[in-house]
Structure 1
C-alpha cells in the first residue's frame, strides 16, 4: 500500500476497537446475516455466477461462507484483519488493498462491498474512485451488491446493550451524532467489560441516500435494479440497505 493508504488504515484502526482487535471483530461479526442476504440477491439476479470479489472483507468471515460456492478473493484496507484472516482461514485468498485504488488485473461475476465498508469513504472524489474500482473489476453483466447506511441513526439519549465477546460479556453504551452538512453519522461507544476494563471508540460513517448511490453507480457504468433494507424484502425504511446493480458497459 502507499503511504496515504497506510495512514488511512491507521486512522480507522485508532477509531474502531474492532480494527485494533481482529479476534473481537471476528466474534462479534459471527451473528451477521450479510452472507445469507447477499447470496439470496445473487440467486435472484445472477444465479450463474462463479467468481466473486469482496471489497472490505475484514477477517474473511463472510467470504469463508461465500467461498463454498464461488471462487473468491477478498480485499481489505486493515492489515491486522487480513493477517488474522490468513491465519484462521488459510484456504482463503485475502489481500491488503484500498478500495479507492486497488487493481487486481481481473474481473468477477459478482462484486460485493458489505459491512458498511463504503460508508468509510467520506469524500466525493474518493467515492467516485471507489466506484471506478468496482468498474475496473467488472465485465458486462457483473453484479454489484453493496451494503451501506442510507439514513442516519439518531437518538436523544445513549443506548445500552450487552455483547458477548471473547473476553466475556460487556456492556456497551452507544450514542450517535449527525452532521447534515457533511452527511457524517458518528457512533460513539463506551465499552465496559465485566473484567472492569474500559475503552472508547468513535466511528464516522458517510450516509449516502438511495438517489446518491444510484447516481454514483450510474456514472461508473452500473444500472441499479433495487435498493432493499436488511431483510432483503421490504422498501428502504431504516439506516442500512443493500444496493443491487449490474455493469452495463
Structure 2
C-alpha cells in the first residue's frame, strides 16, 4: 500500500513544553484515519505541524510518496476547528464554499460556469443549498462546520485534514459529515480527522492513530483499536498540560483564510 504521508522525527515545542516528541509514521493512501488521544495530547498540533501552520523541529516530511508540502499543496484541504474561525467576517455561505474553487481562496474574482456547478454540488452534498445566501454569523454550530467541509469538497483535494469536525454539531450534521468522509474514501481520497468519541471510531474510521505527545499505536482499526492501546494512550501516559494553541495564540488567522491549504 502506498503512503500518502511519510513523517520522520517530527517534534514540536512551545517555549519549554514539549508538545510532540519524535513522531515517525506513515499514513497509507485511501484511508479514513482517526487521530485520538486525551486532551492536550498534541492532536491539533500534529495536523498544524504537518501543514506548516506552526513551526516544528527539523524533520523529514513528504506527501504522495515524494512531494514536498509546497508541491502537494493543491492536493490538500484543511478544515479547522470552528472555534478558530472569525464567524463575524462579512461573507455568505456560498462565498465561503466558492473559496474552494477560487485560486485566491476568496471568491471575489470571476468564477466560471463549471466552477459554479462544483460549488452548487458541494452545497447540495452538505445540505446547505437553502442557506447559500445566509451570512455565516447566522448559522448553527453544525451548519458552520458543514460550510467548511463544503468548501473542502469544492476544492476537490486528494488529502483532507479535519480538526474536530464533530465538535458542537447536531446529530443531523454528524451523520452528513461522516457520510462525506466515507464518500471521499470511495473516490480514492484520504482523510485524517481529530476525533474524540471513542465509541464511534469502529463505525466511522478504518485506520487509527493513538497519540499522546508520542505515537502510542497506529494501524488498521481492526488491529489497533484495542483496550490495551486505549489504556496506553489515555491512562498509562502521564497527562500533558493542555498546551495545544489556538490559532490566535500561534499567530494564525482563519477567515480571511490566509492559512487555507
* TM-score normalised by L of structure 2: 0.34
Higher relative contact order structure (alpha carbons within 8 Å, sequence separation ≥ 6): 2
